[in-house]
Amino acid sequence: PSAPSGFNGLAQGTDRILWSWTDNSNNEDKFIILSDTIGVIVDNLSPNTTEYLETGLLPNTTYARYVQAYNSTGYSDSLQKTICTHANPPTGLSATLTTGTTVVVSWTSGTGGAAAFRVERKEEGGSWTVLKDFADGYTSTSYTDTGLSSDTTYYYQIAAFNFDGIMTSYDGPVMAKTLDITAPDSAINLSASIADIKGGVTLSWTNPGDDGTIGDIAGGAVLIKYSKDGSTTYDTALGPVTISKDLIQGATEQTTITGLDAGTLYYFFVKVRDDAGNLSAEVKVSTYTGAQPYLKVYGITSPITAGVSSDLIVKAIGPLGTTDTNYTGTVSFSCYLSTTLALSGAIIPSDYTFTTADSGIHTFSNAVSFPDRNEVYTCYVKATDKNDSAIYGEQTVVVSPPDFISGTVTQKDGTPLSLVYVEAYGIGLSTVTASTLTDGSYELAGLSVGTYTVRVTYEVDGIESSAEKETTNGTADFDFTLEINYTLASVQGVISGIKPSRIASSGIKPLRTKSEVPSYAFVEIRRSRAVMRIPIASDGSFRVENLLPGEYSMRAFDGENYSRVSTVKLFEGQTLGVKFAFPLSVSSVYCQPNPGPDTSGNIYICFIGNQSYGAEVKIYTITGEKVRGSKNFENFTNTDSENGKRFIWNLKNDGGRVVASGVYFYILEVKDLSSGESKKFKGKIAIVK
């Protein structure tokens, strides 16, 4: 037969090679795979075969093979081909930092070894770089990586090659971080100045970089020492003062050191430390410490609305930031928009003389207010010791223009109108709404600076009308008189069963808001878009006056639950009584003690509801036999509304005999006597004697 051609092999892994060829004959009896030139038969194959997968081989090992076409008259051989199986991947990769900037990478070679290894490295966020490759013939199982950058994270991965240069999968990556061995530069532009405080000095400097002048210093510190002897150094000076923080490169920092001898020359020595402990070189500066106190001005509300009064507090600050209780001196006040422009129209305190009776602090009650400039602006209020201009203090105050429009709405005979809808709007301005209270007053709050159209809308006999006029924010007494005259109506009523803790304190005005639900009980009355909430008095009563005739919807909130909505129709001069129906609500049903009885020989079946309800209890044995009914109970206690109601069972049955120990169950039925709505609750009772 003709000889096969194109004989070749392809490694399929660490233990197999796929051999292939072209069949050039049509008369072979079989094909024979033979090993190298010795002619050892590897396998006999069927005629017309063109490939053979040889398995069970060793990793990273070369194999020489050829194929023979054979029949009874003779045979023909292909050319020989040598192929290497894949190497096993390396394992156990590790990276160890041996010096500040040297990393040793180690691994274990796979079974059968490797013809060479590839070592790769990359920095955090970078790309891989080949350090050793097949062409280098690198067979060692460790690699020492030197000359790396300090304070840098590196990653390593390793792969192996077989003798044909085919690479395995990678082992890794593993991580190693070099040490930071580069010190920051010294603090830049270090300066010192006298602080306005006894024994105080303010130091200022510009931060260097983490490595010299480069990079922020995360977890850094500024180390300060000081002495009265200029010949000393940082290492021998007093202190230390340590400021630990992230240092932003190029940022200006300052700190005030207190507790030094007042009016004394001090030398300050400063070093910068990075998070690795590297120290910069020392820089030095000197100055005298402060000899006088300074004044702290505070207490003014900021931001504050123009025209609103506020307190102002002046405190003398002595050594270590404490109050100088011995301070005496006459303090004068000024108010200005800048260091050169005084603010006219501001109200500030008159001169005040501190005595030792003030103990270094004085409060000027409601002594400060600022004019309306119809804009948000910033001003400065300064208190200065008239005998020493170096002793002063100031507070920066943001002043906002008045943010409201307020007034009343009445009919033409002067009677105030309740529940009139009021809104303010303008070009480029948000719309703000309110409703008049029972005294006819309204307030549109939270307004921006601008000119508003204020519209009042009211409804009489189903006809809606409105009146409007313009004004700016900050206008008070912006009143409306409507061209109507009605004998106004009112609604009133009493809501029983409200817990005392849900009653609002006296003096709380009705609410106009529709969104926020207060924690106390109220009655809500609506008409179209107008809404008002009236707090309920301590006796449960409420009254809403000065209402125009027409239809209103009302509901009550008892502090926990809303009632059902009631719709009422009011006529001129009518005073209408309104009752509210609450959905039956029982928040808790329980038996105590359980197991019982208590020391008095009783068990109590209790419930807590949002109103006063009728209730019945029946007690049964575990087999369903009735033992006792509430109509024969010796006692039924209606406790205060905070604690609900309870039945007292003296462990006797309807026949007056004491029941035996065991398990019983009760059925409690709670009923709203006005609506007829009822609910049943079931529970177990254990009696142990």
Which pLDDT belongs to residue 674?
Answer: 67
User: 477: which 2 tokens?
Assistant: 């007494």
List pLDDT tens digits, range 68-124: 999 999 999 999 999 999 999 999 999 999 888 999 999 999 888 899 999 999 999
Predicted confidence band of residue 37 (pLDDT cuts 50, 70, 90): low
User: Which pLDDT belongs to residue 117?
Assistant: 96
In sequence order, which residues have a C-beta less than 8 Å from that of residue 167 and are 6 or more positions away?
Answer: 118, 134, 159, 160, 161
Query: Dihedral of CA 130/136/140/144: which sign?
Result: negative
Tell the residue number behind the tokens 């105050």, with chain if given. Answer: 397
CA atoms of 595 and 463, how far apart (whole Å): 66
| Partners of 312 in beta bridges | 364
Instruction: Give me the chain's average pLDDT, please.
Output: 90
SS3 146: coil
Would you state the pLDDT for residue 223? 93
Mean pLDDT of 264-278: 91
Q: What's residue 516's pLDDT?
A: 58
Q: Do 106 and 97 meet the contact criterion of CB atoms below 8 Å apart?
A: no
Determine which of 144-148, 583-587, 603-607, 671-675 has the lowest per-residue pLDDT on average.
671-675
Q: What is the 3-state secondary structure (H, E, C) of 330-347?
A: EEEEEEECCCCCECCCCE
pLDDT above 70 as % of the chain: 94
pLDDT class for 676, splitting at 50, 70, 90? confident
Q: How does residue 515 score in pLDDT terms, banded at 50, 70 and 90?
A: low
Q: Please report where in the chains the tokens 């081909």 appear, as a residue.
A: 81
What does 165-176 look like in DSSP terms, one character per residue? --B-PPEEEEEE
Q: Of 181 and 397, which is predicted with more confidence?
A: 397
User: What does the CA dihedral 136, 142, 146, 148 come to, rounded to 10 degrees?
Assistant: 100
| Over residues 669-677, mean pLDDT | 76
User: Backbone phi, then psi, for 357, in 5-degree steps?
Assistant: -65, -25
Mean pLDDT, residues 180-189: 92
Nearest residue to 633 via CA among 591, 611, 602: 602
Give the integer Cα–Cα distance in Å for 533 and 247.
Answer: 56
For residue 589 the two structure tokens come to 């049903």
What is the CB neighbour count within 10 angstroms for residue 289?
A: 24
> Alpha-carbon distance 155 to 170, whole Å?
13
The DSSP code sequence of 428-487 is TEEEEEEE--TTSEEEE-S--SSEEEEEEEEEETTEEEEEEEEEETTB----EEES----
Report DSSP letters for 621-649, one per residue: ETTS-EEEEGGG-S-EEE--TTT-EEEEE
- Read off the pTM: 0.46
pLDDT at 232 over 90: no
Query: Cα 33 from chain centroid?
Result: 74
Tell me: the pLDDT tens digits for 613-644? 778 889 999 999 999 887 644 444 445 444 56
pLDDT of residue 610: 59
For residues 575-592, one letter each, b for 16 or more C-beta atoms within 10 angstroms of the residue's C-beta and e for the rest, the string is ebebebbbebbbeebebe
The identity of residue 133, as a single letter, is: D
Q: Residue 51 pairs with which residues in a beta bridge?
A: 20
Mean pLDDT (whole number) for 564-571:
94
User: What pLDDT score was predicted for residue 320?
Assistant: 58
Between 546 and 275, residue with greater pLDDT: 546
pLDDT > 90? residue 675: no
- What are 605-608's contacts with CB under 8 Å, separation 24+? 605/646, 605/647, 605/649, 605/666, 605/668, 605/683, 606/643, 606/644, 606/645, 606/646, 606/647, 607/644, 607/645, 607/646, 607/668, 607/670, 607/681, 608/643, 608/644
Please state, in angstroms and rounded to a whole number, the distance separating the CA atoms of residues 618 and 632: 10
Instruction: Supply the pLDDT for residue 546.
Output: 96
- Using DSSP, state whether 356 is helix, strand or coil: helix
**The predicted structure's pLDDT at residue 204:** 96
- CA–CA gap between residue 488 and residue 416 (Å, rounded): 9
HSE, CB side, 13 Å, CA atoms: give it for residue 614: 9
- Quick check: bond before 597 cis, omega within 30? yes
- Give CA torsion, residues 492, 496, 501, 505, to 10 deg: 20
| Sign of the CA dihedral with 477 first, then 481, 487, and 491 last | negative
Tell me 596's DSSP state.
B
Q: What percentage of the chain reaches a pLDDT higher than 90?
A: 66
Q: Which residues pair with 43 in a beta bridge?
A: 33
193 vs 499, more confident: 193
* 196: three-class secondary structure by DSSP: coil
Query: For the residues 224-230, what does the mean pLDDT come to?
Result: 90
Q: Evaluate whether 379 touches 353 at the Cβ level (below 8 Å).
A: no
